[in-house]
């Protein structure tokens, strides 16, 4: 098992999309100093760490996931010094900061790619995946063709303007496919370490890694990519043993074997995560079915136990806002779940006040349908909800036009708000170790159609029972153990009997057990 920074044991993360969080210089787009200014808010919420989406130099064809200089903060966000200052301020408040590392591809404007396009051999010829003839495309990947003097097609990783970096092929089967231990693949891997070194030595606490599971091509069950990350893990262990790593991978048994400390449940792939939050009948909207999620989670948990954390996000910059699918008090029940599960929870900025998905927006910077989940943070009732003093038509993304849009200021003043409920839930988690990252989970009721979710969390002999019932009928749950104290109740709660809990409709309870 990789050595885990101790602070992950009770970490609660807050994801920040830097464009849309807080603009302190009035140009309509958020910046690093804006994030620094709002760190006390994040601390007050109870979060212990932040993940900032890419904030590096980029032509912004994919909102910064198309990097053109990994070691330079994009001027629109500020300077490297501003980011280092953010690290210091965060640390002063006891918060940790993860940057977003995009290892799979660069922008086609990256100087490496410009060199790689040249016909004459140079240091960057093998930095990307090229076929050896323009007439051959890299099967299974999109490609860039006819754009260079170099004869060949270059594989792309995501959008067309994101050429794929070369970490080698697990089993090369064409002459142009390089092996993982070819000089070109190794040079790419070492360049990645240099980028990590650059930011870790300046005070960053680790990375969220973009598309971490797809670096080695023609891979077999992730074996090549796992080996690549194990190599990087050895480097971290030697030079930056305190660095925290979370992967966008979605198969914890693979990513944790690669040396990541945490892996996300993803909104695509096999997790059934969105059976709970975003589908035709989401479980937390009261009429869905969580059983396939529970089955997959239990399987992943069993296969990865002890090796690291499975992290469940409230949302992120790639999926619909939670509030598009889960309404009213059901959002509180969703957070009762998110904040009582193992692993480190991730709260997407604005989800804590139930920000809406803004409908009907034109795509901004490659956002397409994701743009509506990336609108500016709503702080208060001042101009542009306190996000920016720029004229409304100069904002990065328009504000939610809803006159009743939620704001931090209004919710702080309302005892019954989502924000205050989340603060309560986080402080309960911080006060009860079984609810934190490492407490063991055992499901008692799997949320099959019409049924609640119920589980126990336990650590060092302490046991907490959790029941959440977004459904319309009360439900009976049998338990082994004796109820001691109700430490959290939402809605009308539950009737507790000997070895039996009747959880009311639209309610949640956390109860200590002996």
Among 126, 263, 289, 318, binds ligand GLC (CB under 6 A): 318
Binders in 326-365 for ligand GLC, by CB under 6 A: none
Least distance to ligand GLC, CB of residue 315, Å: 12
Q: Is 227 in the site for ligand GLC (CB under 6 A)?
A: no
Least distance to ligand GLC, CB of residue 157, Å: 7
Q: Do the strands 462-469 and 507-513 form a parallel or antiparallel pair, or are they unpaired?
A: antiparallel
Q: What DSSP line would sit under 3-63, residue for residue?
A: ---GGGGG--EEEE-GGGT--SSSSSS--HHHHHHTHHHHHHHT--EEEEPP-EE---SST
Least distance to ligand GLC, CB of residue 317, Å: 6
**Secondary structure, 3-state, 439-508:** CEEEEEEECCCCCCEEEEEEECCEEEEEEEECCCCCEEEECCCCEEEEEEEECCCEEEECCEEEECCCEE
Least distance to ligand GLC, CB of residue 22, Å: 21
The span from the first CA to the last CA of the chain, in angstroms, equals 31
Q: Is 113 in the site for ligand GLC (CB under 6 A)?
A: no
C-beta closer to ligand GLC: residue 51 or 169: 51
Work out the angle between the directed axes of helices 183-200 and 223-239 (0-180°, nearest 10).
40
Least distance to ligand GLC, CB of residue 261, Å: 19
Least distance to ligand GLC, CB of residue 172, Å: 25
Contact, 407 vs 353, CB < 8 A? yes
Of 52, 53, 71, 64, the closest CA to residue 196 belongs to 71
CA separation for the pair 222, 436 (Å, rounded): 29
Residue nearest to ligand GLC (CB): 65
C-beta closer to ligand GLC: residue 228 or 435: 228
Q: Which helix (H) or strand (E) segment is 298 a member of?
A: helix 291-304
C-beta closer to ligand GLC: residue 213 or 434: 213
Among 42, 102, 236, 395, binds ligand GLC (CB under 6 A): 102
SS3 416: coil
User: Which residues are CB-contacts of 296 (< 8 A; sequence separation ≥ 6)?
Assistant: 270, 271, 272
Task: Return the residue matching tokens 């070895």.
Answer: 499
Contact, 446 vs 475, CB < 8 A? no
C-beta closer to ligand GLC: residue 21 or 158: 158
Least distance to ligand GLC, CB of residue 56, Å: 12
C-beta closer to ligand GLC: residue 212 or 467: 212
Least distance to ligand GLC, CB of residue 180, Å: 22
Q: Is 77 in the site for ligand GLC (CB under 6 A)?
A: no
Question: Left if phi > 0, otherwise alpha if psi is -120 to 50, otherwise beta: which for 28?
Answer: left
DSSP state of 377: P
Q: Is 374 in the site for ligand GLC (CB under 6 A)?
A: no
Q: Is 236 in the site for ligand GLC (CB under 6 A)?
A: no
Binders in 146-175 for ligand GLC, by CB under 6 A: 158
C-beta closer to ligand GLC: residue 247 or 417: 247
Among 210, 275, 365, 421, binds ligand GLC (CB under 6 A): 210
Of 208, 242, 241, the closest CA to residue 64 belongs to 208
Least distance to ligand GLC, CB of residue 222, Å: 17
C-beta closer to ligand GLC: residue 212 or 333: 212
Binders in 1-20 for ligand GLC, by CB under 6 A: none
Size of site (CB under 6 A) for ligand GLC: 9
Burial 65-90 (b: 16+ CB within 10 A, else e): bbbbebebbbebbbeeebbbbbbebb
- Neighbouring CB atoms inside 10 A of 287's CB total 14
Q: Is 56 in the site for ligand GLC (CB under 6 A)?
A: no
Q: Is 211 in the site for ligand GLC (CB under 6 A)?
A: yes
Binders in 180-199 for ligand GLC, by CB under 6 A: none
SS3 143: strand
C-beta closer to ligand GLC: residue 350 or 386: 350
C-beta closer to ligand GLC: residue 103 or 286: 103
Least distance to ligand GLC, CB of residue 158, Å: 4
Binding mask 244-283 for ligand GLC (x = CB under 6 A): ----x-----------------------------------
Q: What number of residues does the chain have?
A: 514
Token representation of residue 509: 């309870």
Whole-Å CA distances, 378 to 313, 369, 419: 20, 20, 13
Among 62, 126, 365, 400, binds ligand GLC (CB under 6 A): 62
Q: Is 70 in the site for ligand GLC (CB under 6 A)?
A: no
C-beta closer to ligand GLC: residue 102 or 426: 102
Q: How many CA atoms lie within 13 A of 480 on its CB side?
A: 4
Site residues (vs ligand GLC, CB under 6 A): 62, 65, 102, 158, 210-211, 248, 317-318
């Amino acid at each position: 098992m990789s050595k885990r920074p101790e602070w992950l044991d009770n970490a609660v993360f807050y994801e920040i999309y830097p464009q849309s969080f807080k603009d302190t210089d009035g140009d309509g787009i958020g910046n690093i100093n804006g994030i620094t200014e709002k760190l006390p808010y994040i601390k007050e919420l109870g979060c212990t760490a932040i993940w900032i989406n890419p904030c590096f130099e980029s032509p912004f064809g994919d909102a910064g996931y198309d990097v053109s200089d990994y070691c330079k903060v994009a001027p629109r966000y500020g300077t490297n010094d501003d980011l280092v200052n953010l690290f210091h301020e965060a640390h002063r408040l006891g918060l940790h900061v993860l940057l977003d590392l995009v290892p799979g591809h660069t922008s086609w404007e990256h100087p490496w790619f410009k060199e790689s396009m040249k016909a004459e051999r140079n240091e960057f010829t093998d930095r990307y995946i090229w076929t050896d003839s323009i007439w051959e495309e890299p099967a299974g990947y999109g490609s860039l063709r006819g754009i260079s003097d170099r004869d060949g097609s270059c594989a792309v990783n995501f959008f067309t303007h994101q050429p794929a970096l070369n970490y080698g092929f697990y089993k090369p089967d064409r002459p142009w496919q390089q092996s993982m231990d070819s000089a070109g693949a190794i040079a790419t891997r070492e360049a990645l370490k240099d980028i990590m070194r650059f930011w870790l030595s300046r005070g960053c606490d680790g990375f969220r890694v973009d598309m971490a599971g797809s670096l080695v091509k023609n891979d077999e069950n992730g074996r090549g990519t796992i080996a690549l990350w194990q190599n990087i893990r050895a480097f971290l262990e030697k030079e930056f043993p305190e660095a925290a790593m979370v992967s966008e991978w979605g198969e914890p048994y693979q990513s944790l074997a690669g040396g990541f400390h945490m892996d996300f449940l993803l909104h695509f792939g096999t997790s059934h995560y969105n059976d709970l939050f975003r589908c035709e009948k989401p479980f937390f909207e009261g009429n869905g079915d969580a059983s396939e999620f529970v089955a997959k989670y239990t399987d992943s948990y069993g296969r990865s136990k002890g090796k690291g954390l499975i992290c469940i996000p409230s949302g992120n910059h790639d999926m619909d806002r939670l509030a598009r699918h889960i309404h009213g008090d059901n959002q509180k029940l969703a957070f009762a779940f998110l904040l009582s599960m193992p692993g480190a929870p991730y709260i997407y900025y604005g989800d804590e006040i139930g920000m809406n998905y803004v409908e009907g927006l034109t795509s901004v910077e490659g956002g397409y349908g994701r743009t509506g989940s990336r609108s500016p943070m709503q702080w208060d009732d001042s101009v542009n909800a306190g996000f920016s003093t720029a004229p409304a038509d100069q904002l990065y993304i328009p504000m939610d036009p809803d006159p009743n849009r939620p704001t931090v200021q209004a919710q702080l003043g309302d005892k019954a708000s989502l924000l205050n409920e989340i603060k309560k839930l986080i402080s309960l988690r911080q006060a009860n170790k079984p609810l934190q990252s490492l407490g063991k989970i055992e499901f008692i009721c799997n949320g099959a159609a019409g049924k609640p979710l119920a589980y126990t969390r336990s650590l060092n002999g302490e046991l907490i029972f959790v029941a959440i019932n977004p459904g319309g009928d009360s439900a009976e749950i049998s338990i082994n153990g004796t109820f001691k104290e109700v430490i959290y109740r939402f809605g009308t709660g539950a009737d507790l009997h000997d070895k039996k809990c009747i959880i009311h409709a639209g309610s949640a309870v956390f109860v200590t057990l002996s």
